[in-house]
Chain A
Amino acid sequence: MTTTTQQSALHDPKSAGGRAGDKIFSGIALTAGIVILAILAFVALYLVVESLPALTAGEGELTNGKTSFWSYVGPMMVGTLIASGVALLLATPVAVGVALFISHYSPKHLSQPIGYVIDLLAAIPSVVYGAWGMTFLGPLLVPAYRWLSENAGWIPIFAGGYSQTGRTLFTASVVLAVMVLPIITSMCREIFVQTPKLHEEAALALGATRWEMVKMAVFPFARAGIVSAVMLGLGRALGETMAVALVLSPGVLSANLISAGNQTIPAEIALNFPEAFGMRQNELIAAGLVLFVITLVVNMIARWIVSRHKEFSGAN
């Protein structure tokens, strides 16, 4: 008797149905995973194969009399890193500050609208940012560039004249900063509000002011998350094409950030790819491969920074 009831419980049609559901779901998940990996592999393969001619080309084989691929892509690598780096330098403090204001300082009825406005910034297409940077922000910054060039010209990044149109690498960086701001802000806010109450109260109970509580409990808890948020922003800034393509009037690599000049890899590709063929196309794809590698390396460095502090992380 008992065995039969047990058996019938084990062979409950409902649980069999659940098992079928499990199978279907794991099947879908596996397929999706394989598809993603396959696509990634194909893209990587395509990048490498199409890049090889440019990467291995000798003297005279490249277009427009370039001597080697690296002398072509090198300056743009630097330009890309500078533009993104300056963008993060500008965006990170603002993003962390705004996120902190929303999570720990502002009254409830203020924090929601501010959050919406920030999220709205993320919804603006990058072409619009580009147009805004080119026609509005650039001219707006020209007086500042003039002042910097006259008064701070001894600093290399302001030395050697300034742009009359404002379409400079610095303007591009400011536009990029505005574009990555919402990503970093919303991610930081998510993390800040997750700070354990336990640790916030521990700090307050010791007689910490609100700011001291933030330093003792919130920032240490959020450190890894802030790094990830910044890296996410960096990923966006590194790959951003339209805004930079529209804003920057490109030229050779130069330390001067406030005059025309410099170029970033994505903008170079976007501007030239439509008319490119043959070796020129290979060069641009190879530049894309370089960008891919840069992004990968940056992400690995970020992971390493995060894991270095594991023992002392807030995760336990």
Chain B
Amino acid sequence: MSKRIDAIDLNVYYGKFRAVADVDITIEPKSVTAFIGPSGCGKTTFLRTLNRMHEVLPGAHVEGKLLLDGDDIYAPGVDPVAVRSNVGMVFQRPNPFPTMTIRENVLAGLKLNGQRISKGDADAVVEKSLRGANLWQEVKDRLEKPGSGLSGGQQQRLCIARTIAVEPEVILMDEPCSALDPISTLAVEDLISELKEQYTVVIVTHNMQQAARVSDKTAFFNIAGTGKPGKLIEYAETSQIFNNPQEKSTEDYVSGRFG
């Protein structure tokens, strides 16, 4: 249910431009790992290589190895579609399918690949996933209403429900709270803490308190200058990154003395 991620000497490119260089990192299962760093340092780019979403952009490609419980997801012959159904992703802006009801949104991933499920099973999945995303109480009476009619925070939790409905091994979140108010943010943060009991969770955030609150380990990325690739500077227990960083740039960044 939860898998370990090893990136080995990973380089990420947009065409000729190398956006992320030489990342080596091990992300433990059943933990929350936060990626922090200044804008443009490649957090999103690196996160999207973990489920092979990076390569959907024209010209984008990856060099190096990325192991999911030891299996290289970039090995020849691996189907990116299969990778993505094992590694779910929640985006920065909530993106429920606007033409689908709340219920259909939750079931969207399950109906892929021609799979059929009975109505009873589907109802069970909808309830379980929405409960898992702390959204059930709010929407249980309006499951047939469009997902786009929810508030931003509810939409984001709907997207989380949609992601956990397919029972992935890993959940990636790219600034999942950046479009949300403080209350919704708290709801999502609580949820993240619960999710790690079952999943490997990786979250990108610009909010230091959030990283400190939800994550077990934190990775600090930085960039030497425009046009230079982003690099992983320091990776350690979250408490160490925030209280006793080993690198000067990490300390500057987490204490707000950056740039």
A positions within 8 Å CB-CB of B: 108, 196, 198-199, 201-209, 212, 216-217, 220-221, 223, 309, 311-314, 316
Contact = CB atoms under 8 A, between A and B. Distances in A.
Contact of B98 (A204, A207, A312): A312
Q: Which 5 A-B pairs have the closest CB atoms?
A: A207-B85, A220-B99, A206-B109, A205-B89, A198-B95
25 contacts: A108-B58, A198-B91, A201-B91, A202-B91, A203-B97, A204-B53, A204-B56, A205-B163, A206-B108, A206-B162, A206-B163, A207-B81, A207-B85, A207-B166, A208-B84, A209-B113, A212-B112, A212-B113, A216-B108, A217-B97, A220-B100, A221-B98, A223-B99, A309-B99, A313-B98
B157 to A, nearest CB: 14
A202 B166 contact: no
Given A311-B146, A312-B146, A205 B84 contact: yes
Contacts of B146: 311-312
Contact of B51 (A198, A205, A311, A313): A205
B88 A205 contact: yes
Nearest to B96: A202
A87 B160 CA distance: 45
B82 interface: yes
Contact of A206 (B56, B98, B148, B166): B166
A204 B95 contact: no
B84 A202 contact: no
Given A205-B53, A220-B98, 10 more contacts: A201-B53, A201-B95, A206-B112, A207-B84, A207-B85, A209-B113, A220-B99, A221-B99, A312-B98, A312-B146
Nearest to A207: B85
A282 B13 CA distance: 71
A316 B148 contact: yes
A220 B56 CA distance: 21
B159 interface: yes
B65 interface: no
A154 B126 CA distance: 50
B93 to A, nearest CB: 6
A202 B93 CA distance: 11
B46 to A, nearest CB: 16
A189 B218 CA distance: 44
Contacts of A209: 81, 112-113
B97 A202 contact: yes
A87 to B, nearest CB: 29
A196 B94 CA distance: 12
A206 to B, nearest CB: 4
Interface in B156-195: 159, 162-163, 166
A196 B108 CA distance: 17
Which of A204, A206, A316 gathers most chain B CB within 10 Å?
A206
A202 B112 contact: no
A209 B85 CA distance: 10
B108 to A, nearest CB: 6
Contacts of A207: 81-82, 84-86, 109, 112-113, 166
B98 A202 contact: no
Contacts of B162: 206
Which of B51, B86, B109, B159 gathers most chain A CB within 10 Å?
B109
Nearest to B98: A314
B64 to A, nearest CB: 21
Contacts of A313: 98-99
A211 to B, nearest CB: 10
